[in-house]
A and B are shown apart, each in its own frame.
Chain A
């Protein structure tokens, strides 16, 4: 049976992600210090704190509006490349969300649209050592599980498991996108910060969405 995902559920997801990003901020920045510009944790924390401020002060009333406002806030407040990338993810989710609450299939469609937006914006391909290496497998797992009629909570748990595996697989990769690409072969041996943070996003979804 499908459990509708509404504004309260999405709000819980975003708040959970903001909490986890804040807790893991130094870890994300340390990963970025190894192969990038050492700002991923602080940038994501600043962006999600701005999203939480919107949720506190002027929360949009419908799911699509909430996702759109989240995306618009992130493109403006994050500062680094994660701003346009995470921002586009939520803006595309909003565009695919339609009116009202989302059923399981709508959640999967919205996440797929978000992934396609990230790929279009960043032009990253699988294996480039980016967030796509975790978000892509997560999206595939979500689609497969929802398509097989699994409950959303189980489908998101499968997506989180796929994200973790995808994230871990970025360690030996040589970066071909972003600041890490300037390091060439020296980027191998480090986990990608974007793949790490987007795994937290999927895990936060699994912890908050699809629960009756």
Chain B
């Protein structure tokens, strides 16, 4: 079981850096993390068709958890679900987690072979360590 991860962001640089930060947690381990970020011309924006493609790349049959930044990233991810086959769509979770913190938690749990529900739950509690520290 390996759940794939998709990162949707307005910015290619932001997405790639978030993935780099998260992959620090996976030395020597493989995990499918696909990025859909930025416009074709290198600007800021999101593309629902690119999100659908990224989900296809990240999905090995065990499902995908999608993390997003804000605004159109969320709407594009929701729109992308319409472009997927029914069987693929059923194994995709759009996560309300904060992008950076959620991604770090999600990759660790996904790389350890946990289920999509467990990966999504870990992403959702991504803010907990920071909140506990600062409270």
Is this pair of chains taken from one and the same complex?
yes
Chain A contacts to B: CB under 8 angstroms: 37, 39, 43, 46, 72, 75-85, 87-88, 91, 121-122, 178-179
Partner of B48, one of A37, A83, A122: A83
A78: which B residues are within 8 A, CB to CB? Answer: 45
Question: What is the size category of the interface that chain B forms with chain A?
Answer: 10 to 19
Do B45 and A75 touch across chains, with their CB atoms under 8 A apart?
Answer: no
- The reply to whether A76 and B47 contact each other, CB–CB distance below 8 Å, is yes
- In the bound complex, residues from chain A placing their C-beta under 8 Å from that of B40 are 77
Q: For residue B79, which residue of chain A has the nearest CB?
A: A84
CA distance A85 to B76 in the complex (A): 9
A76 touches B50 (CB 8 A): yes
B46 interface residue, CB < 8 Å from A?
Answer: yes
Chain B residues with Cβ below 8 Å from A82 are: 72
Main secondary structure of the interface of A (DSSP, over half): helix
The 8 A CB mask of B28-47 against A (1 = contact, 0 = none) is 00000000000110011111
Known: A76-B50, A79-B39. Contact between A43 and B45, CB under 8 A? yes
Q: Is B61 an interface residue (CB 8 A)?
A: no
Contacting residues, chain A, for B75 (C-beta < 8 A): 81, 83-85, 121-122
B65 CB to nearest chain A CB (Å) = 20
Output the least CB separation between A177 and chain B (Å): 9
Query: Is there an interface contact between A76 and B45, defined as CB atoms closer than 8 Å?
Result: no
A residues in contact with B20, CB < 8 Å = none
A79 touches B44 (CB 8 A): yes
**Pick from B10, B43, B50, B72: contact of A84, CB under 8 Å:** B72
* Chain A residues within 8 Å of B71, by CB: 37, 80-81, 178-179
* A121/B43 in contact, CB under 8 A: no
Q: List 22 A-B contacts (CB under 8 A).
A: A39-B45, A43-B45, A75-B47, A75-B49, A75-B76, A76-B48, A76-B49, A76-B50, A77-B39, A79-B43, A79-B45, A79-B47, A81-B72, A82-B72, A83-B46, A83-B79, A84-B76, A84-B78, A87-B79, A121-B75, A121-B79, A179-B71
